[in-house]
Each structure stands twice: as structure tokens, then as C-alpha cells.
Amino acid sequence: MQTDTIEKSKISNTETEGIQREPDIYDSIQFLQNALINDPTNCDDQCNLAICYGLIYEMDKSIELFSKILDESPGFLPALDKLGRALIIWGHQVGATGWFSIYEAAYLYRLVRELENPAPVIIELGSCFGLSSMIIAKALSNKPDALIYCIDAWEEDGSSVSQDTREFVQDKAKSNISFFEIFQNNMKEFNVDHQLIPIKAYTSDVAKIWTQEADLIFVDADHSYEGVCNDVSDWKDCVKVGGQILLHDVKLECAGSDEDSAPGRVVNELLGENSNFSSGTLVDSLYLAERLR
């Protein structure tokens, strides 16, 4: 299977911490704003201004400006890199940690933002703390008729997530804060809760009664081979023709990995040459394929 691959390094949690506020940062913002009055399309000045907004934790302004730069100059890679960092820092500010690289975060945001449908339907299988949920919602902030379904069991004991996450969920439960409430609170902090439709249930149970076609389905729930296989089998026919399916944590031997990951095996078996989907694009571990028929 042929796969277009973009490999980029991942950002560590420590890279999102300890950003110092320079005493002259507001002077820099004023200088750059004035410069852009004279040359409003200068990518370097726009990018530096967006960085300054990030340094004073005005992440909404930072993200919007990086996105504007990329709308006008899609090939300006410094803005793509910084957009990913801004999105991850934004998530960490309210505790919505996730497992995205900076380029995965930026790629998801740009992918969703560029959907042509003015009222797209997005289905996210697996939401956890909501980092990807808020990225999707932020990307669709200019499309008020979009429908974003977040489907997750949010098991009260955190049994379906990693050990560190499970311990965090169980600790919160001692204060009578459920896993689902953590997600809801994070989305309120992001001010995107009004854009999302959370469904607290197992993805396999929802699939049995689901009838609505989707522009994009993001598979990021149970990462075991059986779990990913079931999710792709259950949901791939809900992707409309011309729509897309996106999987996370895909590693493919044919793209240079030591071996196929469980999601990678599912890609080969269910989204390969004999499927209704195109050969995909791999950005770090995000795999995107379009439904052809």
C-alpha cells in the first residue's frame, strides 16, 4: 500500500510549561501591529505577533492568527509548527492533556477547518479529556451549523485508558468528579461545550443504531487491535462518499516503522487496496483516507 508520509517530532509536556512573560512583550505586540498596518500580508510579522499573543497566554488570538496565515499562505511551515504548539498549550492550560504531536494537532485543526461543507457532521470515537474535541470545535467555530458528536464510554474507573490517566480519573472520583464531568468541565473551560454533542456510551453500541452520514469520522477510542478493528468495521460505511476517515496511532512498516501498530494493521486490512477508500496520508501517526464509493 502506498502511503504519503510526513514525519515530525513530538512536543513533550515540559515544552508547554514555564513560558516566561517578557517585560517588553506588549511593546513588541504594539510594534508588530503597527508594522502590519503598513504591510498586512507580511507572514513573518504575523507569525511573530501570533507568538507574542501566545507568550501572554491569549491563545485564542494566537490560534486564529496562525490559522489566518495558513489560509493565506498554506506552505508557510513556521506557522504550522507554531499552530500545533499553541493548540497543545491551550489544551494543557485547563488539563486537557492528549497524545498528539505538534504536527498532528495542527493537521487535525487544518483538516477540519478546510472541510467544504458549511454544515459538516463530525464523529469522534474516543474523546478522553477532550484535547482533540476542542481542536475540532475550534476549527469549526466559523460554522455554527456543524454537528460534532463525541462518543466515549468515559468509564468511571478509567479502565479503558492508560495507567497515569486511570490514576488521575480515580483520584478525581474520590472528590465525586466523574470522568465524564472532567470532559464536560474542560469543554466549558475551552468555551466550546455549546458546539459539541457528547454521547456517553460504547462506540459499538452507538454504531448499532447510527444512521447519519459523516463528513469525517475520527477513530481514537480503544487502541487494541480488536477495538480498532471493530470501530472501523462498524463505522466506515457511515462516512459519506467523498468524506474521510481518520485514525490515530497508526504506525506502518511500509512507511518506515519497525512494525505495524494495531491501528496500522487495521488500516492494511480494512482500508487497503480492495476497500472503498483511497490510499491514505500519514502525518506522524494520523492516517487519513477518503471514501471513494
Using 50, 70 and 90 to split pLDDT, how confident is the model at 158? low
Average pLDDT over residues 215-236: 96
User: Which homologous superfamily does the CATH classification assign to the domain defined by 105-290?
Assistant: Vaccinia Virus protein VP39 (3.40.50.150)
Q: What distance in Å separates the CA atoms of residue 32 and residue 292, rounded to the nearest whole number?
A: 46
CA atoms within 13 Å, Cβ hemisphere of 149: 21
pLDDT for res 232: 98
Domains of the chain, by residue range, sit at 9-100, 105-290
pLDDT for res 274: 87
Asked if the domains 9-100 and 105-290 are classified in one and the same CATH topology, the answer is: no
Whose cell is 462516512? That residue is 239
Alpha helices in the chain, H assignment, sequence order? 25-38, 43-55, 59-72, 77-93, 102-113, 131-139, 163-173, 179-190, 203-207, 225-235, 262-270
pLDDT for res 288: 98
**Does the pTM of the predicted model rise above 0.95?**
no
For residue 260, pLDDT over 90 is answered with: yes
Using 50, 70 and 90 to split pLDDT, how confident is the model at 18? very low
Average pLDDT over residues 274-287: 94
Query: Most confidently modeled of 140-144, 147-151, 182-186?
Result: 147-151
Number of Cβ within 10 Å of residue 200's Cβ equals 17
pLDDT for res 230: 97
The CATH number of domain 9-100 is 3.40.50.720? no
Using 50, 70 and 90 to split pLDDT, how confident is the model at 171? confident
pLDDT, tens digit (0-9, with 9 covering 90-100), for 234-259: 999 999 999 999 999 999 999 999 99
For residue 2, pLDDT over 70 is answered with: no
Higher model confidence: residue 156 or residue 49?
49
pLDDT for res 170: 84
The distance of Cα 6 from the centroid of its chain, to the nearest Å, equals 16
Higher model confidence: residue 16 or residue 24?
24
Using 50, 70 and 90 to split pLDDT, how confident is the model at 94? confident
Strands 196-200 and 281-283: unpaired
Those residues whose C-beta lies under 8 Å from the C-beta of residue 6, and which sit 6 or more positions away, are 103, 281, 282, 283, 284
Strands 196-200 and 214-219: unpaired
Using 50, 70 and 90 to split pLDDT, how confident is the model at 23? low
Q: What distance in Å separates the CA atoms of residue 104 and residue 248, rounded to the nearest whole number?
A: 9
Those residues whose C-beta lies under 8 Å from the C-beta of residue 142, and which sit 6 or more positions away, are none
pLDDT for res 13: 41
Those residues whose C-beta lies under 8 Å from the C-beta of residue 212, and which sit 6 or more positions away, are 121, 238
Using 50, 70 and 90 to split pLDDT, how confident is the model at 7? very low
For residue 262, pLDDT over 70 is answered with: yes
